[in-house]
Copies of this chain bind each other. A is one copy, B any other.
């Protein structure tokens, strides 16, 4: 059962409706500002709830992912803002940075290049999931500090991956957005944990995940209380050995049909080779993505991770120029670049961005 709340409902209204739901014996399995997913309760619970003043409608739960489905927002696409960078319809965002944070020099050099090329958000891994236990696993917390420093120097907000549920709050205390990587797309404790954060989440599609499974992973996050989710297509596993992953740009069109959440594309991991990244980034823009996320390195030959697919600062600059045209073919304009100021001090003053109450009850 989905309970649709009035658009002008306040938190107090919502709390009141939730109180009434529970009074019927039902439980709130998931909630968003506009919707409650409700299970159980007296047989007449639906009729009773439908008459509450703040309730617009009570519908049977048909979609597999009621919070994420396009219908849940009347086909109106959402905008997710990463510290002021709006990811959603009309605009186009470029997220760029190194695969892994390696050193202060490396990160600051690349962040400045990203800033100069007109990018909007910095990416960089402090905790790296690596196929081999003997590969570089990232700088960890020290990497987070460097990302914060690069933000102060360039004004670019940053997104970084969280690997371990036990680190989610610490990462979110510093980062402007957290990323759930492709290998963790079905790591449900992690999805619930980032669902409790007050930070936007970039959720990467797993290499063997269907589009619907990806949306169900997003539903886990929304059901836990966080509706600021950006889906990221980054390539799927197929039989073709000519590159690393098969970038699935048709998924952008299908996601658009099925969800209101914004959709971006990471062409770097799929391409597996620098020269293929720009054509695929342009293709993503032309296909109607809300943004791209690309890997950049000022000295790819010495990169500790994925150097073979990193753009140079110069290639990044050229790419953002062409992206303007490709996004234009899809009826979009590149986002404005962040104002030339340092980040707002509010961020540091917001140390534990976790919602206080558990958002989900057993259905």
Closest residue of chain B to A67 (Cβ to Cβ) is B133
**Given that A208-B206, A208-B207, A238-B236 are contacting pairs, would A330 and B189 also be in contact in the complex, using a CB cutoff of 8 Å?**
no
A251 at the interface (CB under 8 A from B): yes
Query: In A242-280, which residues have CB < 8 Å from any B CB?
Result: 242-243, 246-254, 257, 270-271, 275-276, 279-280
In angstroms, how far is the closest chain B Cβ from the Cβ of A208?
A: 3
Residues of chain B lying within 8 A (CB to CB) of residue A212: 242
| Contact pick for A246, options B137, B224, B250, B288, CB 8 Å | B250
**Is B275's CB under 8 angstroms from A282's CB?**
no
Which of B37, B61, B134, B208 is close to A363, meaning CB atoms less than 8 Å apart? B134
A326 CB contact (under 8 Å) in B61, B210, B254, B326: B326
A163 sits at the interface (CB 8 A): yes
B-side contacts of A207, CB under 8 Å:
208
Interface size class of A (residues with CB under 8 A): 35 or more
**Does A133 lie within 8 Å of B208, measured CB to CB?**
no
State which residues 89-146 of A face B: CB under 8 Å: 129-134, 137
CB distance from A361 to the nearest CB of B (A): 11
The reply to whether A236 and B246 form a contact with Cβ atoms under 8 Å apart is: yes
Query: Bound state CA distance, A189 and B252, in angstroms?
Result: 31
The distance in angstroms between the C-alpha atoms of A243 and B238, with both chains bound, is 15
Q: Determine if A6 is an interface residue (Cβ-Cβ < 8 Å).
A: no
Residues A279 and B286 in contact in the complex (CB < 8 Å), given A129-B188, A211-B240, A250-B247? yes
Could you tell me which residues of chain A, from 67 to 81, have a CB within 8 Å of some CB in chain B? none
**Docked-complex contact B240 and A251, CB < 8 angstroms:** yes
With both beta carbons as reference points, the residue of chain B lying nearest to A184 in the complex is identified as: B187
Specify which of B61, B183, B216, B239 is in contact with A186 (CB 8 Å cutoff). B183
Task: Evaluate contact between A280 and B287: CB separation under 8 angstroms.
Answer: yes
Point out the residue from B29, B131, B165, B330 that lies within 8 Å of A279, measured CB to CB. Answer: B330
Using A188-B129, A189-B163 as known contacts, say yes or no to A271 and B283 having CB atoms under 8 A apart. no
Q: Given contacts A237-B239, A287-B279, is CB(A166)–CB(B163) below 8 Å?
A: no
- Verify if A345 is at the interface (C-beta below 8 Å from B): no
* Residue interface mask A326-362, B partner, CB < 8 A = 1: 1011100000000000000000000000000000101
A34 interface contact, C-beta 8 A: no
What are 11 pairs between A and B in contact, CB < 8 Å?
A29-B133, A30-B134, A183-B187, A212-B242, A237-B238, A238-B248, A242-B251, A283-B284, A283-B287, A325-B325, A326-B326
